Amino acid sequence: MNIATIAGSLRQTSTNRGLIRACIELAPEGLTFDTLSIGEPPHYNGDVAARGEPEAVTRFKAGIDAADAVLIATPEYNYSIPGVLKNAIDWASRPAYQSVFAGKKTGMLGAAYSVVGTARAQSHLKQILLGMATPVFPFPEVLVGAAKAKFDAEGNLIDVPTREFLAKFMLAFAGWIKTG
C-alpha cells in the first residue's frame, strides 16, 4: 500500500516534516511512501483554473489519486492550518465531491509549540476533509505539543515516547487503510 504524505510547513527544518519522516521510519512493513509538495501550486484563482490546471496542481492531484491513502502533518497557525496547506487542498478539492480527496482515506498528525499541540488545527482540518467527502482516520490522534523540546535543530523527532507512540499510530493507521 502506498501513502502520499503531505507536510503543512515549507520550512526546511520543519518539525512537521520531521514527523512525516519519523512516520516513514517507524511504519510497519508493506507500506511505501510518496512525498507531495504543497509549495508549488500557485494561489488558488478560479480564472487560472478555468484557463487550464497549472502543472504543479496536476502533479499534486496525481500524487493523491495514485495513493491508497494520504497522511497529513500540519502545524497550527493562529489556531488553524497554514494557508499554504489550505491552498493546496483547495486546488485538489475540485471538482466538488468528486475530487481526488473524495473517498480517499486520510490520517493526520501535527506538531506545534503550544502544549495543546495542533488540537485546534486538526479540528479545522477534519472539518475541511469532511467538506470533501474524505474519510478521516479517527483514533489514535497524534498531537505533539511543546514541540521545541522534542525535535533537534534539523527537525528530527528525538523524543523517545513520541516515537514509540508514532509506531503504534502507524500500525493502527495501516490496519484502518486495509480494512476500513
Ligand X SMILES: Cc1cc2nc3c(=O)[nH]c(=O)nc-3n(C[C@H](O)[C@H](O)[C@H](O)COP(=O)(O)O)c2cc1C
Residue 111 or 177: which CB sits closer to ligand X? 111
The candidate with the shortest Cα–Cα distance to 176, out of 126, 139, 128, 123, is 139
* Exposure string for 88-107, b = 16+ CB within 10 A, e = fewer: bbbbbbbeeeebbbeebbbb
Residues, the chain, total? 180
Residues that bind ligand X (CB under 6 A): 9, 11, 14-16, 75-79, 112-114, 147
**To the nearest whole angstrom, how small is the minimum distance from the Cβ of residue 103 to ligand X?**
28
**To the nearest whole angstrom, how small is the minimum distance from the Cβ of residue 114 to ligand X?**
3
Residue 121 or 177: which CB sits closer to ligand X? 121
**To the nearest whole angstrom, how small is the minimum distance from the Cβ of residue 31 to ligand X?**
22
Task: Give the C-alpha separation, 100 to 91, whole Å.
Answer: 10
Residue 1 or 116: which CB sits closer to ligand X? 116
**To the nearest whole angstrom, how small is the minimum distance from the Cβ of residue 9 to ligand X?**
3
Residue 114 or 123: which CB sits closer to ligand X? 114
Q: Give Cα separations from 70 to 33, 48, 95, 147, 158 (angstroms).
A: 9, 26, 18, 23, 24
